[in-house]
Structure 1
């Protein structure tokens, strides 16, 4: 199978919490968050510099002065919020937000102190700097809280979709029939199928965290394909190319199994000859590349309605922001989904 092409499909899940637990309501530890925060603060400073500026040169001078205070303060806020991420998780949501705003006031004073030390401000605006820092921090915290809350509907939809796929009647019926057929001739294999099915249910119904290791996802996908191998026999040809160094990468829970399920559904089921399914992982420096590829019957277009692809894109964006990437392509009878995440 040509591994340079690209496949598709995904549905992801997360279960509602059984018991209430405190979580981080805003997370500054993402490259995308840092870039957006710096850009936001710089735009605010650019607008602020227009007040009282008589000429473009005067505006540039004012912007440079404001940036000299605001940018170091912004970076300091992001670094401190990220470093204290674990400690903040133990606080109630309101306390976390209050801390973020208070930290904004502190770094505002820090920025004002930097400008004052250079001699650019004869009368440093300490109160105004603290108030501005708190206000900008409040806006950043609000945006990050909304970003975190955006995960909730995605999780709920993904969980429902996963449960429908996992417990759908024909999959359960076919799996049990396969086990029954093997009870007399190969009881050990029948037992293995039921164990794999039990493990799939366990993973679908448990409460996962925000992320799991790629190695765990590979193991779950193996169990699913082992079940389908009994059903389809030689029609399902599975190839694994797993990089052990990539196993520690963090991914959304239950991300691989739906991909291989779609590969079976759209590649193997519609074809009398069956299809080849390949799962590969590879670590490339600070990145991990995950591919799930399958051949499709001649004349078949891209499978599905794009719901699964939109779902995985959203989940990756929520977990890894701009560091998570998703691509899906059908080319020359091969469909492949390609995911990139930080190592």
Structure 2
């Protein structure tokens, strides 16, 4: 029996390849290519990245002043003054880069360096002027030039780090995208759905047409060029289409409950965030059990954050144990998009499995 399932899987995989539904190496390369996006270099609008940049600059300032100070009190005095300049300059620079990330991405690389080093010099000069408001110490041209050059050097350091960070994320992003592409289309799901549609053609043609329309939409999204971001509303609609198909397969065995907060619908999420989670819930929480199972999808707006919960009942163990690829895939894409501002939690209780996602609106 195991050998038969194995052969069926290969046959279905070959069939979907012939249909053009399974991703070929060329399609994978084409899908991964958009990941190498210059705009991502300048995407500094994350709390975690801002915190790392500020702490890095402050650490360099502390080490530099420690070399010149003769005693701890002198070092503390210099640090208190220097922090006014560096903190103002870094936050000013990051704010401008965040707001202008799209125009910056369109510039050629030499111009990117020129513009951002100039902004670094400007930010440091403004920070120095802010410090001088509380000081009577004269500020000559040499001191002002030194501060501007230090600001440009700081900007160069941050820009170099941002480019290194983007390059280091490419393999992880490409791997996550590859896993996603390979897991989006399950041949058995395709055949089950086609069988459902064929069974309905004679008894209920309109319903069969609706099933095929839902399936077409799922594959359109799955095989479309990877986009950077979609809204939570779009993800909910796609999950609905998937569950509508499964509802026909399982009937009353699949009990679905939606609790959706309309104010959370505009939250930015990675594409195909919900569909793998509800698919996991059906595959491992409903399909193995003769009595079926219950699935709940809930969204809620909580101030500046949005909470997403996908919860399913757990009964008999699935005959095909999961490997956690879908969960890791979703977690990695959330981290790449929102960094530490997003949280991904998995909670398993007696008779219940819950995935909780919290992300910025």
Q: What TM bracket, shorter-length normalisation? A: 0.7 to 0.9
Alignment deviations for residues 82-135 of structure 1 (CA, whole Å, 9 cap, x no partner)? 222343233235533442233222222333333445234655623332332222
Q: Distance in 1 between matches of 2:164 and 2:186?
A: 33
Q: Distance in 1 between matches of 2:56 and 2:332?
A: 23
CA 151–20 in structure 1, closer or farther in 2 if over 3 Å, else same: closer
When the two structures are aligned, how many residues end up with a matched partner? 329
- After TM superposition, the score normalised by the length of structure 2 is 0.83
Where does residue 197 of structure 2 map in the other structure? 179
Which of these residues, 309, 322, 330, is aligned with residue 340 of structure 2?
Answer: 322
Which of these residues, 71, 93, 96, is aligned with residue 87 of structure 2?
Answer: 71
CA contact (8 A) 2:176 2:332 kept: no
CA RMSD of aligned residues (A): 2.5
Deviates more, 1:151-160 or 1:50-59: 151-160
CA contact (8 A) 1:26 1:148 kept: no
Where does residue 132 of structure 1 map in the other structure? 150
CA contact (8 A) 2:120 2:155 kept: yes
Structure 1: give runs of 5+ residues left out of the alignment: 1-12
Deviates more, 1:306-315 or 1:207-216: 306-315
Q: Distance in 2 between matches of 1:329 and 1:19?
A: 31
Q: Distance in 1 between matches of 2:152 and 2:35?
A: 33
Where does residue 43 of structure 1 map in the other structure? 59
Which of these residues, 126, 136, 145, is aligned with residue 110 of structure 1?
Answer: 126
- After TM superposition, the score normalised by the length of structure 1 is 0.87
CA 327–63 in structure 1, closer or farther in 2 if over 3 Å, else same: same
Q: Distance in 1 between matches of 2:222 and 2:256?
A: 23
Q: Distance in 2 between matches of 1:48 and 1:82?
A: 28
CA 100–24 in structure 1, closer or farther in 2 if over 3 Å, else same: farther
CA 64–166 in structure 1, closer or farther in 2 if over 3 Å, else same: closer
Q: Distance in 2 between matches of 1:233 and 1:180?
A: 17
Which of these residues, 167, 170, 179, is aligned with residue 152 of structure 1?
Answer: 170
Deviates more, 1:181-190 or 1:29-38: 29-38
- C-alpha displacement at 1:217, in angstroms? 0.2
SS in 2 for 1:339: strand
Q: Distance in 1 between matches of 2:331 and 2:137?
A: 47
Q: Distance in 2 between matches of 1:149 and 1:176?
A: 42
SS in 2 for 1:184: helix
Structure 1 position 119 matched with structure 2 position 166: no
Trace 1:182-261 onto structure 2 (pairs within 5 A): 182-261=200-279
Q: Distance in 1 between matches of 2:341 and 2:243?
A: 29
Deviates more, 1:170-179 or 1:264-273: 264-273
CA contact (8 A) 1:166 1:200 kept: no
Q: Distance in 1 between matches of 2:91 and 2:110?
A: 23
Name the one with the larger helix percent: 2
CA contact (8 A) 1:214 1:250 kept: yes
Deviates more, 1:36-45 or 1:303-312: 303-312
CA contact (8 A) 2:288 2:316 kept: no
CA contact (8 A) 2:35 2:174 kept: no
CA contact (8 A) 1:276 1:294 kept: yes
Q: Distance in 1 between matches of 2:248 and 2:169?
A: 36
Q: Distance in 1 between matches of 2:101 and 2:200?
A: 52
